[in-house]
């Protein structure tokens, strides 16, 4: 593997750190040392030496341990992600994919990895049609049809090969131990299991793992996953070829093509057409990030196949001409909601996999196009949804003609992590298996769930007269809303990084967090905690309870806004660089049971 000398310490220190990480692992045997106590969750931490934030304390601790032993931000991100595959198995894992955004301190440049899942090469636009009609969404989710070629392991390999300083095998050790020794079940894990109990019960391997004794695990109990520990050990020892060209991959293909349904299940579980050829042909994509300037800062994110970077970027450009720092809370939310509505109108028409579609990324991110759309926003009135898209190639001011493209439903249970190191490198990484519990299909003997990412495709065109860029195709990546974002100052130094799970609400969550921090002056942890709104070119805007029950809602309704309640939108994490060189790690205070933020050396120590 290639390694950058600028990101590595001396060979002696590296060797010592590598030995230390390896030596820290208790033996994987029945006589292993007692399981370490779960770290206490805290939503904010400040200090030196690097930082990690995720939704889970064990996962954040795994990343911090790597940083303490001389690893860099990329190493820490991979270790954290692998641990999330243990403790957040319904959100992420090697059965899924994601998007990785990296800031390199030596070159002061931002790089990205598209690790999105791909459709089988046999797929076409009729993938989710039967007798010419779209399948019911629930039937498509719980099926082999919905499983895309996993990209997570390849993402780790790509990132480590380009920018890491540790081997995959070393970085999987903390997660391997966590899977072997177990973690403490919390309310979120139990409730997510309960919501999937009916699905999980139909697959014996899933039920055996996640429904011990036929029931969801009890809060406070220890959950172990010996199969996943062995899978991680094999992946670390053999490398990612074990998945893309080896027996692990063959196990995945067998599972997709013949889903292991229980004999008493009445559910019809359709098989998929994933092949070993699809696995061996899978490649991540190293590509340029999206970039917009906002309030004198440079905002970088992921380009299509995700719509995250283009949609957040367009919305920021729309808001650029409005002074949100002086606006009242009602005025701020009104403009934020309308900018989201417009960005989603344009996303639905123009964004798909650029390997198959002519995606006008440059046009969508141009200030000229944003200005032509921003003039639609009125201070005293609300745009009607669904709003028709604009045309980036012909940015006619305030154009309202054309046919709207509805937003495709996306599962909301993804996970996001952020990491930074003492050299100033930063990672924003969002990974997923799509819906909570993915396809509900566990690969027998392997300890992980398969994704249902292909349900992010449009099942059929909403309007046959209008081209839909998000229909299935052979080897095509479904459109995503994932928006890992890194913000740099005018000298190309990191200011903050942020991202969130939440399906299509990811875009509005990241946008609200950025404007909360940059425009409204909120501390990062408070910008993350602020009650959220989400408008996605729909007749109604979703509000969390704190906004639903506030006077602001009534003031917005007087302008014409219509709302529905959403109990929880997103679960963001972020890091921020302070002028004195400290890192601030920030996570949710309450959502998803609260997140976990840690630094290597607490404030006051270097």
Q: Which residues are catalytic?
A: 414
> How would you class 410 by CB atoms within 10 Å of its CB: exposed for 0-12, middle for 13-18, buried for 19 or more?
buried
Q: How far apart are CA 587 and CA 80, in angstroms?
A: 14
**Residue 385: C-alpha distances to residues 50, 315, 369, 405, 512 (Å):** 44, 16, 20, 10, 20
Q: How many residues does the chain have?
A: 606
Rounded to 5 degrees, φ, ψ at 423 are -85, -10
Task: Assess contact for 441 and 126: CB atoms under 8 A.
Answer: no
- Look up tokens 């996303």; give the residue: 347
Token pair in block for residue 357: 């579609």
Q: How far apart are CA 595 and CA 587, in angstroms?
A: 5
Q: How far apart are CA 520 and CA 81, in angstroms?
A: 31
Q: How far apart are CA 365 and CA 293, in angstroms?
A: 10
| Strand arrangement, sheet containing 533-534 | 533-534, 541-543, 563-565
Q: Which residues pair with 308 in a beta bridge?
A: none
DSSP 541: E
Task: Assess contact for 428 and 498: CB atoms under 8 A.
Answer: yes
**Region label for 50, one of left (φ > 0), alpha (ψ between -120 and 50) or beta (otherwise):** left
Task: Assess contact for 294 and 314: CB atoms under 8 A.
Answer: no
- Paired sense of beta strands 44-54 and 222-223, if any: unpaired
Ranges of H-type helices in 164-244:
168-181, 187-195, 197-201, 204-210, 226-238, 241-244
Task: Assess contact for 266 and 460: CB atoms under 8 A.
Answer: no
Give the distance, in angstroms, between the CA of residue 186 and the centroid of all CA atoms in the same chain: 21
Q: How far apart are CA 383 and CA 381, in angstroms?
A: 7
Residues with Cβ within 8 Å of residue 544, at least 6 apart in sequence = 531, 532, 533, 565, 566, 567, 568, 569
Distance between start and end Cα atoms, the chain: 31
Ranges of H-type helices in 359-415:
361-364, 367-374
DSSP string, 6-25: GG---HHHHHHHHHHHHHHS
CB-CB neighbours of 427 under 10 Å: 31
Q: How far apart are CA 528 and CA 512, in angstroms?
A: 8
DSSP 456: G
Query: Which of 270, 248, 247, 246 shows the shortest CA–CA distance to 257?
Result: 270
């Amino acid at each position: 593997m290639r390694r950058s000398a600028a990101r590595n310490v001396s060979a002696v220190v590296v060797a010592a750190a590598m030995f230390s990480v390896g030596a820290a692992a208790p033996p994987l045997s029945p006589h292993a040392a007692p399981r370490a106590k779960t770290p206490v969750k805290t939503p904010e931490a400040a200090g030196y030496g690097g930082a990690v934030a995720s939704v889970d304390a064990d996962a954040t601790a795994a990343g911090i341990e790597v940083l303490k032993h001389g690893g860099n931000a990329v190493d820490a991100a991979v270790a954290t992600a692998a641990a999330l595959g243990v403790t957040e198995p319904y959100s992420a894992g090697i059965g899924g994919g994601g998007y990785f955004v990296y800031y390199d301190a030596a070159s002061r440049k931002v790089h990205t990895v598209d690790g999105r899942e791909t459709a089988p090469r046999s797929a076409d636009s009729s993938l989710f049609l039967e007798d010419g009609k779209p399948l019911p969404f629930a039937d498509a989710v719980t099926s082999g049809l919905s499983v895309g070629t996993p990209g997570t392991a390849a993402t780790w390999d790509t990132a480590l090969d380009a920018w890491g300083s540790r081997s995959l095998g070393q970085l999987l050790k903390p997660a391997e131990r966590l899977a072997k020794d177990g973690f403490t079940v919390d309310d979120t894990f139990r409730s997510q299991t309960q919501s999937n109990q009916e699905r999980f019960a139909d697959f014996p391997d899933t039920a055996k793992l996640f429904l011990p004794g036929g029931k969801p695990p009890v809060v406070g109990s220890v959950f172990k996953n010996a199969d996943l520990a062995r899978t991680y050990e094999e992946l670390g020892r053999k490398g990612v070829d074990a998945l893309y060209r080896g027996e692990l991959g063959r196990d995945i293909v067998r599972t997709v093509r013949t889903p292991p349904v229980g004999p008493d299940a009445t559910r019809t579980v359709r098989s998929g057409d994933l092949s070993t050829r699809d696995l061996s042909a899978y490649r991540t994509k190293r590509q340029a990030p999206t970039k917009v300037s906002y309030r004198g800062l440079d905002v970088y994110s992921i380009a299509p196949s995700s719509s995250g970077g283009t949609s957040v970027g367009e919305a920021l450009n729309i808001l650029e001409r409005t002074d949100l720092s002086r606006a009242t809370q009602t005025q701020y939310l009104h403009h934020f909601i309308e900018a989201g509505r417009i960005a989603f109108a344009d996303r639905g028409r123009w964004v798909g996999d650029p390997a198959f579609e002519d995606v006008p990324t440059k046009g969508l991110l141009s200030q000229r196009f944003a200005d032509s759309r921003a003039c639609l926003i009125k201070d005293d009135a609300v745009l009607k949804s669904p709003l028709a898209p604009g045309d980036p190639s012909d940015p006619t001011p305030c154009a309202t003609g054309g046919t709207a493209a509805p937003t495709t439903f996306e599962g909301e249970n993804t996970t996001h992590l952020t990491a930074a190191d003492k050299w100033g490198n930063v990672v924003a990484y969002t990974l997923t298996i799509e819906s909570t519990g993915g396809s509900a299909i566990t690969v027998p003997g392997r300890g992980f769930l398969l994704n249902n990412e292909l349900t992010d495709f449009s099942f059929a065109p909403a309007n046959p007269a209008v081209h839909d860029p998000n229909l299935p195709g052979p080897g095509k990546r479904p459109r995503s809303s994932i928006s890992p974002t890194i913000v740099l100052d005018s000298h190309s130094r990191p200011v903050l990084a942020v991202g969130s799970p939440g399906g299509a609400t990811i875009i509005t969550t990241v946008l609200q967090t950025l404007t909360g921090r940059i425009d409204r002056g909120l501390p990062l942890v408070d910008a993350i905690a602020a009650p959220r709104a989400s408008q996605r070119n729909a007749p109604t805007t979703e509000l969390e309870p704190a906004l639903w029950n506030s006077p602001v809602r009534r003031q917005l309704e007087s302008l014409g806004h219509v709302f529905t309640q959403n109990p929880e939108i997103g679960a963001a994490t972020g890091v921020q660089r302070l002028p004195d060189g400290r890192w601030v790690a920030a996570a949710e205070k309450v959502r998803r049971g609260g997140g976990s933020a840690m630094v290597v050396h607490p404030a006051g120590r270097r």
